[in-house]
Amino acid sequence: MNTKPWKHPLGQAAIVVVLAYVLFEWGIWLLPPLFGVASAPVPATVVLQYMGTVVVGVLIWVSDSEERWKQFKAPIHRVMVDPRQKVLRTALMVTIPLLVAFMTFDRVRPTVSAPAALRSVHPAPPGQIDFRGETMVLNGLENPLRHEGDLEEHYEEGKRIYVQNCMPCHGDALDGQGHFASAFNPAPLSFQDPGTIVQLTESFVFWRIAKGGPGLPREATPWDSAMPAWEDLLTAEEIWQVTIYLYEQTGWEPRTWEEEGAEGEEH
Amino acid sequence: MFPGVDKTSERNVPKPGMTWRSGAGPILLLGALALLVMAEPAFAQVPAGRDYGDFPVIGGRAAVWIAAQVHLLFAAFVLGVPMFAVVTEAIGMFGGDERYDKLSKEFTRLLLVAYSATAIWGGILLFLLVTIYPTLFSYLAQIFNLSMWIYVGLFFFESFTLYLYYYGWDRWKKGRAKWFHWGLGIALNVWGTIVMFIANGWLTYMMSPPADVTVDTAPQMIQLWTALTNATWMPINIHRLIANVVFGGAVVGAYAAYRFLAAKSDEERAHYDWMGYVGNMIAIGALIVLPFAGYWLGREIYEFNQQMGITMMGGFMSWLWIIQAFLIGILFLAGNYYLWVGMGRIPGAERFMPYTKYMLAVLIVGVIVWATPNTMIASREEFAAMGGTHHPFLSVLGLMSGKNTAVNFMILTTFLSFLLYRRANKEPVVPWARTGTIVQGAIFIIASAVVLFYGIYGYRVPTIVRIGFSVYQVLTVLACIIGVITIDLLMLRGATSRGTIRWGRMPARSQYALFILAVTFTWLMGLMGFARSGIRQHWHVFEVIRDTSPWAATPALGYSSVVISACVLIFFGLVAFIFWLGSLAEKPVISSAGRTSAAGGIQSDLQPAPSEG
Amino acid sequence: MLKTNLSILAVVIGCLAVFTWVANAIPQLQSDVPEDLVLSDDVTPAELIAAGEELYNGGGGCTACHGLGERAPNLLTDHAGTGLIGERCANRVPGEDCKQYLHTSMVDPNAYLVEGFAPIMLDASRTLSSVQIWAIVAYLQSLGGEVTVTGADFADDGGAAPAGGVVASAPAAPVLGPTGPLDPEELLTRYTCATCHAISGPSPLGPSYEGMGSRLTADEIRTSILDPTASAAENFEAMLGIMPPIFGNIPAAELEAIVQFIASQR
């Protein structure tokens, strides 16, 4: 090769493919947060789809002019037939099948993870629930204890309730790392996580504590939540107290009802 | 309106039924044996036979599905090709270039052999329907009896017109006789179109029966005209009319590609290179307007029945549209690739070659955006990392606003490719050439800006407003295409040439792009046929006659794709065989045509079918 | 030439293989045929609800619009602060109780169009049988309300003249009625009610039926049987929760006989 690799079509093609892979695998995940836009790792199937498109594009580019196509093929051809390239050729002949074999192995290898399933982490709460035979309208419901009694007292009481009932799973640091936590899938929620209780109103938290895993609505299935329904074991006041404890201890502010209305897109 | 228990139970008892899924098939030839069927006394009583027939191994539904789909593919070819055969003949007549006349005749020769295949498969379909879905067939026959007779009659007219058109080609070659001959071609199209409209009436009736037809309506009571002109009839007619042209162009392109690769002489190669180019041009040109017809059809479906529309777009078929996006992406890429490779044979095209990579980049980004799924496939861990089934960043691309913008940019880019190709060896001589080019560029920039504006603005308005935006985007693109092509036609009048196109000097890989185009078009037709009839779900006639056969459940895409692939394979296998038969008896017509094109093609170089752009 | 033919064949087969593979790689959804619903008129509310729920979420196609989205009023959870469908249904139209309202809304959807929505819904009786419609009504009632649909509702349909629309042409088949005369006292013994509630005189555990009809309406009695924790009789507050909530399994016709009997005990 006389020309520099990045001037040669083969080298350019390789660079584009690698750059595209870096962009799809890490760029989409890590770049938008720099500009304050939320992002997340891209699922492997989507990366595969994008890479397929890019590879097709690159092949179109190298072959749409006769001259470039010849240039592109030349080094490949040379490696395939030139006696002096025997070492490289043999190396490729060994590594490429090995690579394919490894990828195949990696795909079919049995893993411990459960099959993919769709689930809604924060299902829409019902408008009202039946709590110990009483109807509670959740919509617009505030924690009544925030306006009556001594907040400090509620906090202390909530702490006692938490330690007695919740700590084994949700952990003493409210991080979802209790003694039993590793036995469950889905794992107990970490209340420290900025994606959990801070996104929710206190009435939602009340609902989840009261009704637990068995009370999840249909759209939240499949759901193997081990969370018990606490309504038979705790009174409404106790649940509100433990809710106060959750928010006070983590330092999060509960979502208020005024913020409601920013619904997601359809589909 | 309150059926009692008795009625309820009756309603759930097996009903007469027919293919709930006749592929995409207008049941051409269905009427050919209608008389026979009507004469059978057993069929006169609708509730008499309630059974479904069976078919070994693949089952009754798959048998009818394949027969209908293959029949439809041949029919679409037979109906699409005459449309542009007549146009090319006219170009030959009025332009005085005999090359087009030869081309038109060659199209018609393909037509002749495909015609009998259409009839054979129509017969197969009819017999399968009568044996596998006897009762629904007789139900339809009771409604559509008169139209079935007319249909058979038209078949006579159509085939004899075709024979006259082809065999009279050389006899009526000059003067007034040529006009008569051209009139025959137009008549051929008229018959064909009426035939298709009638068959479309039957199948759209099954999809969208008139609102006053209910379970209890006796078939004899249904007015034929009301049944034919149901809600989706006209949209399907128009959609299929255009799609047939696309399909005909693509198959003709594949045929030319095959002959190109098999060619022994340079002349032959030059001729088939040119024919392939024309076929590709027709296909891509008609494809660009197809989405508008599809949009209309979709809207009518929503208007007919909201739930049917939602089943189609958002329900269990939503993944089908990801596949469709993937296929259309392939069409765009293959079509552009063919044009770009083709620039290699045009002197003067070198100056535009550096821009192809930017156009390619736009296309690739467009395909990526367009095929981004809204609900992604991922493992449990990946969902956990995304915090749900929607990717926080990419799901923005998965929405309609992003997708419409992407596809409009893809259309604009393809149109630009075509313009550059057209311009490649020309040097405009009109004094305002420079201004004209600047205006053309400005139109492109304005159109892109408008499309982009509505694309971004679409995220900030409610759904109902956003739906309207896609119309603005599409109209902008259409206006841009019309405006630019008008300027281009005026500007290139009397343009000087930088050299003739070296027809035939085309690398073989470009011809494979034509094959990919044809296969993808065909497969896409099969897929859309599945979508169209699949939205009826477990109904033979939507909400009137229930499918109670063992095959009533609408299959998943995986199974459907296997059936569609089988249909495409059967179709191309037969096409290859028929064309090979045709070439056995062929006289060396080509060499003279090739000579004309190689020598005489210089003057008219790039004129083929610009109207299709 | 053989080589060319083979490579053309390879391109065609390759294309088809890729398309087929992609179509098989995505999630496979099959659209199943809705199950036929055959319910006799001694169906229990629990069976009705279960059938209705399945239809609602499946073959009935209701969730296409009445999901959590904005196409149609939300029937699964609270709608715009008016409560769940089972509780708001009774207040929607004066003079129509919950059951009537829901049923009319299904077979004549534009009769009581909810404000802010377009009249896009189709007459459900085009796709669903009468039994299926009643099952869905029962399911909707169960969301926050009390189920009052009984087998008698769809048994009645055969005779009742439809309000406008096509008159059913099929002759009415014999209605599957209860197998014999319903003896309420026998039923009260069979379902062990009498173990706790005396029919007359002092009661072993729960309130006596004597004079219960003067205190409670038939609807309240039905509620109390189906949901024993809903309310407690005076002086029996401490007993709340002792009566098991299992009586929803009593066939509707029999339950109705029991209710009418208790209501007549003045």
3-state secondary structure C191-259: CCHHHCCCCCCCCCCCCCCCCHHHHCCHHHHHHHHHCCCCCCCCCCHHHCCCCCCCHHHCCHHHHHHHH
Q: For residues C4 and C7, give the distance between their C-alpha atoms in angstroms, rounded to a whole number.
A: 5
C235 in reach of chain B (CB within 8 A): no
Question: What is the per-residue pLDDT for B586?
Answer: 63
Q: Which residues contact B592 (CB under 8 A, 6 or more apart)?
A: B102
Share of chain A above pLDDT 90, in %: 23
Contact assignment for A218 to C87 by CB distance below 8 Å: no
Q: For residues A181 and A195, give the distance between their C-alpha atoms in angstroms, rounded to a whole number.
A: 18
Residue B604 pLDDT exceeds 60:
no
Share of chain B above pLDDT 90, in %: 39
Contact between residue A126 and residue C78 where contact means Cβ atoms under 8 Å apart: yes
Nearest CB to B7: which of C4, C34, C170?
C170
Contact between residue B567 and residue B23 where contact means Cβ atoms under 8 Å apart: yes
In B, which residues are within 8 Å of A120 by CB distance? 388
Q: Which residues contact B13 (CB under 8 A, 6 or more apart)?
A: B50, B548
Residue B185 pLDDT exceeds 70:
yes
- Read off the pLDDT of each residue in B148-160 and give the average, rounded to a whole number: 91
The upper half-sphere exposure of residue A215, i.e. CA atoms within 13 Å in the direction of its Cβ, equals 22
- Give ipTM to 2 decimals: 0.80
In C, which residues are within 8 Å of B1 by CB distance? 107-108, 123, 125, 162-166
Contact assignment for B377 to A53 by CB distance below 8 Å: no
| Closest among C64, C65, C60, C68 to C33, alpha carbons compared | C60
Q: Which of C54, C84, C85, C242 to mutate to test the interface with A (most CBs of A within 10 A)?
A: C84
Cα dihedral sign, A111-A117-A121-A126:
negative
Give the pLDDT band of residue A261 (cuts 50, 70, 90).
Answer: very low
The predicted-structure confidence for C115-127, as pLDDT tens digits, reads as follows 777 777 777 776 7
Contact assignment for B371 to A63 by CB distance below 8 Å: no
Q: What is the largest CA-CA distance in chain A?
A: 90
Question: What is the per-residue pLDDT for B33?
Answer: 34
Residue type, B76: A
Nearest CB to C19: which of B306, B537, B565?
B565
Residue B183 pLDDT exceeds 90:
yes
Residue B542 pLDDT exceeds 60:
yes
Better-predicted residue by pLDDT, B382 or A174: A174
Instruction: Measure Cα distances from B94 to B178, B495, B513 in Å.
Output: 11, 20, 32
A261 in reach of chain C (CB within 8 A): no
In B, which residues are within 8 Å of A115 by CB distance? 380
Give the pLDDT band of residue B111 (cuts 50, 70, 90).
Answer: confident
Question: What is the per-residue pLDDT for B585?
Answer: 62
Nearest CB to A128: which of C57, C68, C144?
C144
- Read off the pLDDT of each residue in B56-73 and give the average, rounded to a whole number: 93
Residue B551 pLDDT exceeds 90:
no
Q: For residues B384 and A82, give the distance between their C-alpha atoms in angstroms, rounded to a whole number.
A: 51
Q: For residues B205 and B210, give the distance between their C-alpha atoms in angstroms, rounded to a whole number.
A: 8
Better-predicted residue by pLDDT, B394 or B161: B161
State the nearest Cα–Cα gap between C67 and chain A, in angstroms: 10
Nearest CB to C68: which of A124, A137, A138?
A124
Q: For residues A232 and A223, give the distance between their C-alpha atoms in angstroms, rounded to a whole number.
A: 21
Q: Which of A66-70, B608-612, C15-19, C253-257 has the highest mean pLDDT?
A: C15-19
Give the pLDDT band of residue C197 (cuts 50, 70, 90).
Answer: confident
- Copy the structure tokens of residue A129: 């629930």
Please report the DSSP string for A186-221 in residue order: SPPPPTTSTTSGGGS-HHHHHHHHHHTGGG--GGG-
- Read off the pLDDT of each residue in A193-199 and give the average, rounded to a whole number: 69
Q: Of the ranges A129-138, B259-268, C43-52, which one carries the lowest mean pLDDT score?
A: A129-138
Question: What is the per-residue pLDDT for B294?
Answer: 84
Nearest CB to C26: which of B3, B377, B543?
B377
Burial of B612 (0-12, 13-18, 19+ CB in 10 A): buried
| Nearest C-alpha in C relative to B515 | C12
- Read off the pLDDT of each residue in C190-196 and give the average, rounded to a whole number: 75
- Read off the pLDDT of each residue in A57-79 and give the average, rounded to a whole number: 89
Q: For residues C118 and C121, give the distance between their C-alpha atoms in angstroms, rounded to a whole number.
A: 8
Q: For residues C136 and C142, give the distance between their C-alpha atoms in angstroms, rounded to a whole number.
A: 10
State the nearest Cα–Cα gap between A101 and chain C, in angstroms: 20
Question: What is the per-residue pLDDT for C160?
Answer: 35
Q: For residues C25 and C19, give the distance between their C-alpha atoms in angstroms, rounded to a whole number.
A: 10
Q: Model pTM?
A: 0.68
Give the pLDDT band of residue A44 (cuts 50, 70, 90).
Answer: confident
Q: Which of A193-202, C23-32, C254-263 has the highest mean pLDDT?
A: C254-263
A124 in reach of chain C (CB within 8 A): yes
B4 in reach of chain C (CB within 8 A): yes
Better-predicted residue by pLDDT, A163 or B598: A163
Contact assignment for C76 to A139 by CB distance below 8 Å: no
The predicted-structure confidence for C222-242, as pLDDT tens digits, reads as follows 888 877 777 777 777 766 766
Q: Of the ranges A34-38, A112-116, A144-148, A237-241, which one carries the lowest mean pLDDT score?
A: A112-116
Question: What is the per-residue pLDDT for B613?
Answer: 29
Q: Of the ranges B60-69, B315-324, B545-554, which one carries the lowest mean pLDDT score?
A: B315-324
- Read off the pLDDT of each residue in B471-499 and give the average, rounded to a whole number: 88
Q: Identify the bridge partners of residue B427 per DSSP, sorted by sequence position.
A: B496
Q: For residues B43 and B568, give the distance between their C-alpha atoms in angstroms, rounded to a whole number.
A: 34
Better-predicted residue by pLDDT, C79 or B607: C79
Share of chain C above pLDDT 70, in %: 79
Q: Coil, strand, or helix at residue A135?
A: strand
- Read off the pLDDT of each residue in A190-197 and give the average, rounded to a whole number: 73
Residue B30 pLDDT exceeds 60:
no
The predicted-structure confidence for B71-90, as pLDDT tens digits, reads as follows 999 999 999 999 989 999 99
Q: Give the H/E segment covering residue B304.
A: helix B266-304
The upper half-sphere exposure of residue B584, i.e. CA atoms within 13 Å in the direction of its Cβ, equals 7
The alpha carbon torsion through A253, A256, A258, A261 (nearest 10 deg) reads: 100
